[in-house]
Amino acid sequence: MGTSDSIELFLLNLLSKADGVCELRRGDLAERFSCVPSQINYVLTTRFSPEHGYIVESRRGGGGYIRITRVNMQPASLVMHTVNAIGDAIDARTTAALLQNLVNNGALTLDTTNLVAAALGSAALRGLPAEWRDAARAGILKQCLLQIIQ
Amino acid sequence: MGTSDSIELFLLNLLSKADGVCELRRGDLAERFSCVPSQINYVLTTRFSPEHGYIVESRRGGGGYIRITRVNMQPASLVMHTVNAIGDAIDARTTAALLQNLVNNGALTLDTTNLVAAALGSAALRGLPAEWRDAARAGILKQCLLQIIQ
DNA sequence: CTTCTTTTGGTCAGTAAAGGTCAAATTAGA
DNA sequence: TCTAATTTGACCTTTACTGACCAAAAGAAG
């Protein structure tokens, strides 16, 4: 198995253990596999391209990094899947987890998510009796997600 | 996270807590982050430029200062006005009128408005007792608008 | 009122720390 | 063998940080 294959495996393993997102230093990785830094770029372009289902972001300069994000499903189908998973009520914790997952998979932008989160937050639902908040959250979240994929 | 990022975060936090304006001493800030004063200028020029939506004013000499103002607030002030006009409850008709007004004035994009409208629509609030829907609408609308102007 | 001193902030060039590109050289596989 | 994938390294771009030197404003001294 070649070095590029080893690096790919290493990254895939990292990603699976870290919920589809990982951040690393190119130099560190190159040193770990005793290769030149540019080989990391080679692996990224040949195996972690958008067509392969990944987003790669990076930053130069001091404190620079490379971040790989896995985008599994097509955004719309992932959103629909999420909608179907929401029942008649949903608590704040679960809501946050669902939204985080959608962001991680690139299905929602951060701005959109922040807006939806604002609509579902405790501040927004404060005027409601506690026993109805989960129901309100479910309805709002579903309709927001359905609107987003329109 | 680098020093510049930390300084940026600190300033953003200050700004958000101080209604988009903050005033500080360059030397103080440099000391707080254990960096040279000129790094403050670096952060200001790279992250708080007019293109980023900020105005930076300063004055030298005794009692000197640096003032950062978040601009692009024309739509924001309209939104704030709207937020303040919302009480503890608001009916669907009034909500629609407010949103329409914000769109007409260019304070909100159509996409954003559609998303907010989805969160406030009858479909989203169907699971709630009728007598609580106006209260829910008020809370959600306020928080969404506040989120939009950040 | 001038002038000197102190207190701020401003500029800019240089160094360092990342990551990016590209094409040549090499290797693996059909 | 012939071709495509892999590996390498020279050179480039971006970002972060530092420090020497500059400029302005306020206050004190005369």
At A72 the pLDDT is 67
Assess B8–A contact: CB distance below 8 Å, yes or no: no
Q: Tens of pLDDT along A95-119?
A: 999 998 888 877 888 889 999 999 9
Taking an 8 Å cut-off on Cβ atoms, the answer to whether A144 and B5 are in contact is no
Residue nearest to nucleotide C18 (CA to C1'): A61
Q: Is the pLDDT of residue B140 over 70?
A: yes
Where is pLDDT greater, at B119 or A53?
B119
Taking the CA of residue A134 and the nearest CA in chain B, the distance in Å comes to 10
Q: Tens of pLDDT along B45-100?
A: 988 988 778 899 999 999 999 999 987 657 788 888 889 888 888 888 788 878 88
- A37, closest nucleotide (Cα–C1'): C19
At B73 the pLDDT is 58
Partner residue opposite A127 with nearest CB, options B124, B139, B146:
B139
DSSP states of B101-122: HHHHTTSS-HHHHHHHHHHHSH
Quickly give B132 CA vs D12 C1' distance in Å: 62
- Compute the mean pLDDT over every residue in chain B, rounded to the nearest whole number: 90
* CA-to-CA dists, residue B4 to B44, B91, B120, angstroms: 9, 46, 40
- If you measure CA to CA, which chain A residue comes closest to B3? A63
User: Which residues in chain A touch residue B128, judged by CB atoms under 8 angstroms apart?
Assistant: 128, 132, 135-136, 139
- Can you give the C-alpha Rg of chain A in angstroms? 19
At A73 the pLDDT is 59
* CA-to-CA dists, residue B7 to B12, B15, B21, B55, angstroms: 9, 12, 16, 17
Q: Is the pLDDT of residue B150 over 80?
A: no
Q: Tens of pLDDT along A79-100?
A: 888 888 888 899 999 999 999 8
- Compute the mean pLDDT over every residue in chain A, rounded to the nearest whole number: 90
B48 vs B55: CA distance, rounded Å: 7
At B52 the pLDDT is 77
Burial A38-52 (b: 16+ CB within 10 A, else e): ebbeebbeebbeeee
Helices (H), chain B: 3-17, 26-32, 37-47, 74-85, 92-104, 110-120, 122-125, 130-148
The H or E element spanning position B22 is: strand B21-24
At B105 the pLDDT is 72
